[in-house]
């Protein structure tokens, strides 16, 4: 079977369609870049570009002018490298596991150094090669997740030989509460980051994530690194979302039925029908990134009509109450909207008791993926 035939069969066999609008993605990058100008705007493409396909997303961002790409793990850098031109720079947020330093140097990937041990390992790699290797250095300014603590930074500065063979191109930290503009942690982290930057005056500063770009000039630094906002997620909580929607998810109907009062719906009989009801079962579930917490809580849409989820979300299916539609409206193979113009990413995340990041990065591989190029929009 040829790849084209395989692709055609998979397209017809898929349980739904995940449309990824690369034109909207590019517009989001351009909007963030304009807001951040004249400083550089990178892109966070970890977790397979937040689940949307880094092989398609990263080249589109490169064509839009992005040159710095952040991933979480070195394995992601290895997989991303073939999809970008040689002048693109890939940085690894979690730094390197022991033993991967030589491969990282060979590929020209830049690690983010988060501990004295990572610093020592990168320095040893550079000295063994009798060369200087670039790196970013992360400081923990209050999140207690990644980065050197203040005492470790003091050790590093007091013992300059620890940085032998390393050129610190970027100093960085991460905002813990950037999506809550009024949170006092933002000001505390900014003050600490300024103190760190003062100790590395020749390095560029990277501090702003998606939310940080909207917090004002003080937070932006030299290299912003947006993530969720690129993919259409709201950068700030409690505010209108200025980003274009990138994702649309439609799922096919497997079966419809009419049930009578007293009928039990789904696993655990968690929903009991009170009066005659029409139901539709759709072909996606928690294995496809639709969380079980949508059970008896979320909804799909057909046009403007909301179709509540009844019963528990299963691994491969969800049951909808379609009584609001005229009888016979839905039939086998018809599509309903889970994410799109009638239901935003944030809305479905709220119904699921989670965040947009988790929804995006969980969308499975059983959907047919349809990419809209910037030129095709």
267 is catalytic: yes
- The predicted model scores a pTM of 0.94
In the prediction, which pLDDT does 341 show? Answer: 96
DSSP three-state, residue 4: helix
| pLDDT for 53 beyond 70 | yes
pLDDT band of 376, cuts 50, 70, 90: low
- Give the percent of the chain with pLDDT over 70: 97
> 292 versus 10: which is more confidently predicted?
292
Q: Is 183 left (phi over 0), alpha (psi -120 to 50) or beta?
A: beta
Structure tokens at 245: 């929607």
The 10s digit of each residue's pLDDT in 185-199 is 999 999 999 999 999
| Catalytic member of 29, 40, 50, 267 | 267
Which carries the bigger pLDDT value, residue 237 or residue 114?
114
Q: Which of 173, 237, 226 is nearest to 33 (CA)?
A: 226
Model pLDDT, residue 6: 65
Q: What is the pLDDT of residue 362?
A: 97
Q: What is the pLDDT of residues 273-282, one digit of tens each?
A: 999 999 999 9
**Looking at 29, 40, 46, 367, which residue is catalytic?**
46
Q: Give the per-residue pLDDT at 4.
A: 62
Q: Is 367 designated active site?
A: no
Is residue 3 scored above 70 in pLDDT? no
Give the confidence band of 12 by pLDDT, cuts at 50, 70, 90.
Answer: confident
124-147 pLDDT, tens digit each: 999 999 999 999 999 999 999 999
The answer, yes or no, to whether residue 7 has pLDDT greater than 70, is no
The residue with greater pLDDT, 141 or 8, is 141
The answer to whether the annotation marks 145 as part of a ligand binding site is: yes
Give the pLDDT score at 10: 72
- Name the residue with tokens 């304009």: 34
Residue 283 CB neighbour total at 10 angstroms = 20
Residues in the chain: 377
Model pLDDT, residue 377: 46
**CA 372, CA 78: separation in Å to the nearest integer?**
26
3-state secondary structure 291-303: CHHHCCCCEEEEC
Question: Was 12 annotated as part of a binding site?
Answer: no
**pLDDT on residue 2:** 62
């Amino acid at each position: 079977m040829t790849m084209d035939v395989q692709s055609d069969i998979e397209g017809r066999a898929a349980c739904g369609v995940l449309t990824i609008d690369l034109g909207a993605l590019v517009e989001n990058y351009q909007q963030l870049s304009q807001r951040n100008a004249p400083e550089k705007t990178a892109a966070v493409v970890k977790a397979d570009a937040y689940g949307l396909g880094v092989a398609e997303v990263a080249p589109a961002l490169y064509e839009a002018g992005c040159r710095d790409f952040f991933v979480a793990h070195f394995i992601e850098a290895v997989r991303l490298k073939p999809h970008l031109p040689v002048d693109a720079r890939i940085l690894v947020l979690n730094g390197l596991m022991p033993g991967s330093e030589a491969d990282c140097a060979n590929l020209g990937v830049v690690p983010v150094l988060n501990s004295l041990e990572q610093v020592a390992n990168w320095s040893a790699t550079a000295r063994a090669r009798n060369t200087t290797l670039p790196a970013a250095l992360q400081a923990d300014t209050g999140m207690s997740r990644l980065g050197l603590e203040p005492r470790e930074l003091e050790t590093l500065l007091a013992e300059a030989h620890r940085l032998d063979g390393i050129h610190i191109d970027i100093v960085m930290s991460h905002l813990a509460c950037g999506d809550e503009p009024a949170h006092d942690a933002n000001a505390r982290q900014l003050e600490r980051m300024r103190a760190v930057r003062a100790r590395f005056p020749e390095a560029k500063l990277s501090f702003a994530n998606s939310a940080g770009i909207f917090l004002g000039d003080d937070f932006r630094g030299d290299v912003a690194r947006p993530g969720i906002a690129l993919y259409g997620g709201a950068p700030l909580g409690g505010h209108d979302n200025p980003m274009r929607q990138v994702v649309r998810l439609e799922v096919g109907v497997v079966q419809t039925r009419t049930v009578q009062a007293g009928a039990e719906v789904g696993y655990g009989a968690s929903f009991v029908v009170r009066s005659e009801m029409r139901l539709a079962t759709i072909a996606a579930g928690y294995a496809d990134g639709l969380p079980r917490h949508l059970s008896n809580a979320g909804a799909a849409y057909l046009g403007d009509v909301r179709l509540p989820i009844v019963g528990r979300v299963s691994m491969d299916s969800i049951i909808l109450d379609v009584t609001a539609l005229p009888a016979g409206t839905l039939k086998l193979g018809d599509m309903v909207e889970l994410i799109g113009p009638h239901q935003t990413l944030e809305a479905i995340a709220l119904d699921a008791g989670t965040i947009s990041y988790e929804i995006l990065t969980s969308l499975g591989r059983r959907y047919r993926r349809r990419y809209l190029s910037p030129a095709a929009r």
